[in-house]
Structure 1
Amino acid sequence: MSYIHGYDPDTLREQVVAHECLERLDEIGEKRSLPALLERVWLLKVLDRPDDALVLAEESVRVARMAGTRKDLLRARILHASVLQVRRAFAAADQELTTCAHEAEGQGWSAIAAFAYQHRGKVHYDAHDFDAARADFKRALFLRQEAGADDAQLQTTLAAIDAADRRRARVAS
C-alpha cells in the first residue's frame, strides 16, 4: 500500500494522511529488520518527526553496512540524506546524495541513481538553487526512463522539473 497521496506542488513534499502513517508505524512496532527500519525512518520523516527519523536513519545505515547488500546500503544512505534535507542540513545531504548517485551510476544501477538524483534535486530546490534542482531532476528523469520506470515515477519527476522552472521564473522576475 502506498501512503503517498500526491506531492505538494510548491514544496515537493509527499502528501500523506497522518493517521494512516501512524497506524503503519504502530503495525511495524520495534521490528529491527532493514526493511522495517527503512519504512519507520520514512514514516517518521513524513510525519514531521525529523529528530526521531535521524536516529533510526543512522541505525539503518549501520544495519545495511553490516548485513545488507551494496544496494541496500545505498538506499539507506539516500533515505538518511533525505532526513538531513528535512533538517535543513543541505551541504551534508548534498554530499551524501552525490556520493550515492555516482556509486549507483558506476554500478549501472539506474533506478537507484535516479532516486539519489531526485532527492538531490529536492535538496537544491529547498536551498533555492533552482538551476541545480532542475538539472538533477532532468538527470533523474533520464535514468528513470532508462530503468523502465512506471508512469507515476516519471510524472513525479516531470512535476518536479515544472516546479523548479516555475520557481526559477519567479526568482528571475
Structure 2
Amino acid sequence: MGDRAEGTRELSFIHGYDPETLREIVDPAECRERLAEIGVQRSLPALLERVWLLKVLGELDEALSIAEQAVRVARMAGTRKDLLRARVLHATVQQFRGAYSAAEHELSTCVEEAEGQGWAGIAAFALQHRGKTRFDAGDSEGARRDFKRVLFLRQEMNAPDDQLEATMAAVEAAELRRSRSAVAS
C-alpha cells in the first residue's frame, strides 16, 4: 500500500502485502543492497528511502533516528508537502515500534493538514498509514473507516489499479478482523 503518487521508490521493493498484518512483503537482500547503494547520502529523498528500508528490515532504532533527521531536514529545507511525507514516515516507524497512540496522533495531524491544503494524494497516504496503525492496535472499525476513505480518495484521483486493489484488500482485512472479533465476543 505504498503511494506511487508520492514519488517514493519503495514500490519497486514491495512484492505484496501480508493479509494478516497488512505489512509489506519485501526481499531483505534487495533492501540491503539498496541501502548499500544509498550509503550515507543526506538528501531528503535518500533519507526517506533509508528510513523505509530500515523499517521494513526491522531495524527500528536506526529507522527512528534517521526519520527524526529527515523531519528536521524537511522542516529546514523542504516544502510543506515534503515535511508531511517525512512526518508520515516517522509515524510509521512509531507504529512498527508499537507506539500506536503517538503514531495515530501524528498521522491524524498530517491527514488534517493535507486535507486542509487540498492535497488528496498526501491525505490518502497518511490515512492509509493511520488505518494500518489502527489495524495493528486492534481498532478494526477505525482501520476500516480509514481504508474506505483512502479508497474514495484514490478513486476520485483515478489512482492506478494496483493501489485501488491494495486498498480494497485492506478494507476486506479490516472487515474480516472486525467480524472475527464480533463472533469471539
TM-score for the superposition, normalised by structure 2: 0.92
Q: Does 1:158 align with 2:165?
A: no
Q: Percent identity?
A: 67
Quote how far apart the aligned CAs of 1:157 are. Answer: 0.6
Quote how far apart the aligned CAs of 1:148 are. Answer: 2.1
Query: Match for 1:91: what amino acid?
Result: S
Query: Match for 1:28: what amino acid?
Result: I
In the alignment, what sits opposite 1:23?
Answer: 33
Q: Does 1:68 align with 2:103?
A: no
DSSP 3-state at the match of 2:15: strand
1: CA distance, partners of 2:121 / 2:71: 19
In the alignment, what sits opposite 1:107?
Answer: 117
Q: Per-residue CA shift, 1:29-83, capped at 9, x if unaligned?
A: 0000000000000000000111110000000000000000000000000000000
Q: Does 1:49 align with 2:23?
A: no
Q: Which runs of 5+ in 1 are unaligned?
A: none
Q: Does 1:3 align with 2:13?
A: yes
CA RMSD of aligned residues (A): 0.7
In the alignment, what sits opposite 1:89?
Answer: 99
Worse-matched range after superposition: 51-60 or 146-155: 146-155
Q: Per-residue CA shift, 1:98-123, capped at 9, x if unaligned?
A: 00001001111101000000000001
In the alignment, what sits opposite 1:78?
Answer: 88
1: CA distance, partners of 2:29 / 2:172: 30
DSSP 3-state at the match of 1:84: helix
Q: Which has the higher contact order (CA 8 A, sep 6+)?
A: 2
Query: Match for 2:108: what amino acid?
Result: T
Worse-matched range after superposition: 1-10 or 63-72: 1-10
2: CA distance, partners of 1:82 / 1:143: 20
Q: Does 1:35 align with 2:45?
A: yes
In the alignment, what sits opposite 1:121?
Answer: 131
DSSP 3-state at the match of 1:11: coil
DSSP 3-state at the match of 1:66: helix
Q: Which runs of 5+ in 2 are unaligned?
A: 1-8
1: CA distance, partners of 2:15 / 2:41: 25
Worse-matched range after superposition: 139-148 or 29-38: 139-148
Q: Does 1:172 align with 2:182?
A: yes
